Amino acid sequence: MERDTRLEYARKLDQQDALNSYRDEFYLQPEVIYMDGNSLGLLSKRAEQSLLSALDAWKKYGIDGWTQGKDPWFYFSETLSEMCAPLVGAAKEEVIITGSTTTNLHQLIASFYHPEGARIKILADELNFPSDLYAISSQLVLHGYDPKEQMKLVKSRDGDTLSEADIIDAMTDDVALIVLPSVLYRSGQILNMKALTNAAHERNILIGFDLCHSIGSIPHCLDDWDVDFAFWCNYKHLNGGPGAVGGLYVNKKHFGQKPGLAGWFGSDKEKQFDLAIEMTPASNAGAYQIGTPSIFSAAPLYGSLQIFAEAGIHAIREKSLKLTDYMTLLVEEELSDYQFTITNPKEHERRGGHLFLVHEEAARICKALKEYKVIPDFRSPNGIRLAPVALYNSYEDVWRTVQILKKIMKEESYKKFENKRDVVA
């Protein structure tokens, strides 16, 4: 990419962009530059339509919507799972759209954490999203263990990234299970999931990944990497809507193992309504469902996943890298006088779909950006996450965001705000 900071160059890149037409699929507000798609993706017209279709089915069929209509609700989770499976590199039977990130993690730990002898610890990392650590801690407590002793956290050398070598060194004989992020939610670092899985299996340890900040942004090959399990939300890069249903993956080699947390929607579909006292779990990832699916939280994902199937995750990843390369270039060229530090890895194979800018006035700067109708994401104590999303952000969006940042810093307009986060950051 040329080191060209002119607006004309940004517009040239937009003209050459093969995914540019998808921008019209989304509800973009006038004069607003949305750079927070890694927290909550925008609404697409197709997602809106699929939600309205679900409402119409309820209106038309009532209870019979479970088995009638274009997309019967009884099989809707499986329909979405088949659409989602290519994004994680899995067979459709290994994926189920269900629950939420944390409830799915609870399910997977309950199913795959089997402490025995000296193998008691669950290995995680100190940079992981805290919700995952809360779930791990509570599962350890349920087994009668002290999380301070039995949750083993890999330390970061620099406060922003993790060393795969350090993680592998921590895979000692006292570890029973490993839960790691695919992409670190702050710095955007991609962990080498293939190498970590190989190392875990060489030591007879099961390993799973939190894909919340990678699904819909980067390709995955969970089957080829032989990952044991994974879980994710669908409201960030996949644009499934606030509180959208989550998803999980279980490698087919584990099929037949009973779920740790049983619920009637994990039953074999043919036997579910037998309502027998003893449950017969599904023979695939569907067994890890617990309760009745929330149809209206799942419906927008149907429309959104159609877009991903058309655009293709590899084309999305290619543009995402170009957008973040371009933003990095502009920050380096235009903001060099204002003490911003980019903490993302620069290598493409190690960088996810957002940039992480560190500045001591980050909270104030984020508030100033919002005043100028740029939507960022503040991460305490001093981080600004900016996510130019391939399906709806343009190169001109990136150019204007950096120019607004430059204006804010030059005029010091951020100083009128308090340098602390709001209730929701």
Report whether 353 contacts 29 (CB < 8 A).
no
Q: Where would I find the beta strands (DSSP E) of 147-234? A: 151-154, 175-181, 206-210, 229-232
H/E segment holding residue 297: helix 295-311
What are the structure tokens assigned to 270, written together?
A: 């043919």
Please state whether beta strands 175-181 and 206-210 pair in parallel, antiparallel, or not at all (unpaired): parallel
- φ, ψ (nearest 5 deg) of residue 96: -140, 130
- 101 assigned to a ligand binding site: yes
Report whether 399 contacts 330 (CB < 8 A).
yes
Report whether 385 contacts 38 (CB < 8 A).
yes
What are all long-range contacts of 340-344, with beta carbons under 8 Å and residues at least 24 apart? 343/160, 343/161, 343/186, 343/187, 343/383, 344/187, 344/188, 344/189
- 235 assigned to a ligand binding site: yes
Residue type present at position 237: H
- 326 assigned to a ligand binding site: no
Going by C-alpha positions, the residue among 34, 40, 50, 11 that lies closest to residue 392 is: 34
- 131 assigned to a ligand binding site: yes
The residues pairing with 378 across neighbouring beta strands, listed in sequence order, are 384
- 130 assigned to a ligand binding site: yes
CB atoms within 10 A of CB 102: 18
H/E segment holding residue 249: strand 247-250
- DSSP reduced 3-state for 229: strand
What are the structure tokens assigned to 150, written together?
A: 């039995």
- 223 assigned to a ligand binding site: no
Going by C-alpha positions, the residue among 174, 198, 168 that lies closest to residue 115 is: 174
Report whether 232 contacts 260 (CB < 8 A).
no
- 210 assigned to a ligand binding site: yes
- 231 assigned to a ligand binding site: no
- 5 assigned to a ligand binding site: no
- 242 assigned to a ligand binding site: no
Place of tokens 């204007």: 400
Residue type present at position 399: W
- 102 assigned to a ligand binding site: yes
H/E segment holding residue 384: strand 383-386
Please report, in range form, the residues annotated as the binding site.
101-102, 129-132, 210, 213, 235, 264, 292
Question: Which residue numbers belong to the known binding site for pyridoxal 5'-phosphate?
Answer: 101-102, 129-132, 210, 213, 235, 264, 292
